[in-house]
Structure 1
Amino acid sequence: MRIGVVFPQTEIGSDPGAIRAYVSAAEDLGYRHVLAYDHVVGADPAAYPGWSGAYDLDSTFHEPMVLYGYLAAITSLELVTGIIILPQRQTALVAKQAAEVDLLTEGRFRLGVGIGWNRVEYEALGQDFSQRGRRLSEQVELMRRLWTERSVTFSGGYDTVTAAGIAPPPVQRPIPVWFGAQSPAAYRRAGRLADGWFPQMQPGPELDEAKRVIARAATEAGRDPAGLGMEGRVPLGSGGADGIAQAVTAWREAGATHLSVNTMKAGLTGVDEHIAALAAVAGTGVLG
């Protein structure tokens, strides 16, 4: 099981030096990948009575593709989007950006995608929130063709491409596409289409049921469920470093291929505290 880190972008600020220090420390400590969330704009809660979203316009989000262009030059860690909200973005442009990151990292890139939850963001980017699930399925098909074919002609419900292609192509052909999933419909979509998935829960009955839905959908689509990766996520707040060590065992027993340690929302401030937390987890010996 490969263990990485969740980039704590909402808590370490916007200083490029802090970003560089954090990623370099994660690599030096023995972590295998860095995972970043995606939000393009945040909503102003004052304009939306009863706003209950996890993030708003004051939450700091670095744009993952641009961030990874920077990190590709300074780290050998695998770079993972966890997740890009694909249906609110242009399909061919995401395929191009992903191909570039994959090229710059020499194939150390996983494209995690999902449908998101923020109607305000969809409006700002000119996309239909109600069609996001259907659009994502079509987008994945088109991106894989753009990554593997020199000239693509495609006519779908949301995108049209006529005899066009991407150059240079990615190293990985196709780039692995992993899905964020937290509903039965999303589980079925992951089983049909994804190379792997990101559970939004901890090991237990809920995870077991999600795995059953995904495996059934994969089998019905003629795919081998054993070939799908699964990346768990463990928050530092659930018992500190020792709690994460216990969670690593639980995720390994649940069949996870990857795991990310999340130090956000654990009361830490600044990059030094986040690095110290990563060091404490590494000190338990869970990284091998």
Structure 2
Amino acid sequence: MEIGVVLPQGELHGGPRALREYARAVQDLGFGHLFAYDHVLGADPAGHPGWRGVYDVDHPFHEPLVLFGYLAGVCDLDLVTGVLVLPQRQTALVAKQAAEVDLLSGGRLRLGVGIGWNSVEYEALGRPMRSRGERLDQQIALLRALWQQRSVTFGHGGEQVVAAGINPLPQRPIPIWIGGACPAAYRRAGRIGDGWMPRLAPGPELAAARAMVMAAAEAAGRPAAAIGMHGRVRYTDGGAAGVAATARRWREAGATHLAVSTLGAGFSSLGEHLEALTAIARTGLLREDQHDEDQHEEGRC
């Protein structure tokens, strides 16, 4: 199980320098990836009476693909979107941006995608919310075609490309992971995803969701064991010791990746976030997972 970090959006003060120092520091601690959330726009509650969204116009978000273009040159972490709201974007443009990030990073992008929930954001970006799950399926097919073929003709689900392609192409198929918290998302992950990003904690609900993913994979004729699972754990749930204990539960549940979040822990500086991550590293958790990975590689040889 590879362990990474969730970018503490809005809590790293100091601009590009702080981002660079954070990425290099977590890499030096032994974490393997950086996981970034995505939202283009936040709603102003004053203009939307009764707004109950989990974030609004006052919550900062870096645009993940632009951010990753910068981080690709300053660290060696894998770069993970968690998740890019794909149906509100132009698919061909995402294909181009993602290919560029993957090329600049030497193949370190993992594209997590989902359908989102923010109607204000969809409206502002000129994309309909209706049928966004069906549209996501078609977008994933188009992304993969654009990443692998010199010239693509595609016309499904509102997507229209006629004898056109991106150049340069990525040097490999960029992994697409599916985020979501409903049976449709679980089935989509099993049917067409390279992995999935559950919003559940280890336990019976996660086990039931994973069973849906595995069943959908088998029904699609895909090897269920090849589909990754990316969990998340919060520092606020028991500090470093709590993170280590929950991480072990994720490993037992079959997770292949885990992102540690220090967001919302009351930290106001880069140093405080790094102190928390250092404490997690000192639990030995990262060494445990490196040992497991080494044993796995030896077994394959």
Q: Quick check: TM above 0.5?
A: yes
Q: TM-score under structure 2 normalisation?
A: 0.94
Aligned residue number for residue 230 of structure 2: 231
Q: Which residues of 2 match residues 205-216 of structure 1 at below 5 A? A: 205-216=204-215
- Please tell me the residue identity of whatever aligns with 1:183: C
Q: Is the 8 A contact 1:13 1:60 kept in 2?
A: no
Q: Which residues of 2 match residues 90-239 of structure 1 at below 5 A? A: 90-172=90-172, 174-239=173-238
- State yes or no: 1:50 paired with 2:50: yes
- State yes or no: 1:252 paired with 2:251: yes
Secondary structure, counterpart of 1:130 in structure 2:
coil
Identity of aligned pairs, percent? Answer: 59
Shift, 1:14, TM fit: 6.1
Shift, 1:50, TM fit: 2.1
Q: Which residues of 2 match residues 8-19 of structure 1 at below 5 A? A: 8-13=8-13, 15-19=15-19
- CA displacement 1:191-250 (0-9 Å, x = unmatched): 111000111011001100100111111111111111100011000010000000101110
Secondary structure, counterpart of 2:130 in structure 1:
helix
Q: Is the 8 A contact 2:134 2:157 kept in 1?
A: no
Aligned residue number for residue 28 of structure 2: 28
Shift, 1:157, TM fit: 2.2
Secondary structure, counterpart of 1:83 in structure 2:
strand
Q: Is the 8 A contact 2:65 2:97 kept in 1?
A: yes
Rounded to whole Å, the distance in 1 between the matches of 2:54 and 2:207 is 26
CA RMSD of the aligned region, Å? 0.9
- CA displacement 1:89-121 (0-9 Å, x = unmatched): 000000000000000011011001001110000
Q: Is the 8 A contact 1:6 1:262 kept in 2?
A: yes
- Please tell me the residue identity of whatever aligns with 1:25: A
Aligned residue number for residue 75 of structure 1: 75
Rounded to whole Å, the distance in 1 between the matches of 2:42 and 2:244 is 34
Aligned residue number for residue 299 of structure 2: none
- Please tell me the residue identity of whatever aligns with 1:167: N
Structure 2 residues without counterparts, runs of 5 or longer: 288-301
Secondary structure, counterpart of 1:57 in structure 2:
coil
Q: Is the 8 A contact 1:181 1:190 kept in 2?
A: no
Q: For residues 39 and 163 of structure 1, do their structure 2 counterparts lie closer, same or farther at Cα, with a shift above 3 Å needed? A: same
After the TM superposition, list the runs of 4 or more consecutive aligned residues in structure 1 that deviate by more than 6 angstroms: none
- CA displacement 1:143-173 (0-9 Å, x = unmatched): 000001111111112111111111101122x
- Please tell me the residue identity of whatever aligns with 2:67: L
Aligned residue number for residue 261 of structure 1: 260
Rounded to whole Å, the distance in 1 between the matches of 2:49 and 2:14 is 29
Rounded to whole Å, the distance in 2 between the matches of 1:255 and 1:59 is 33
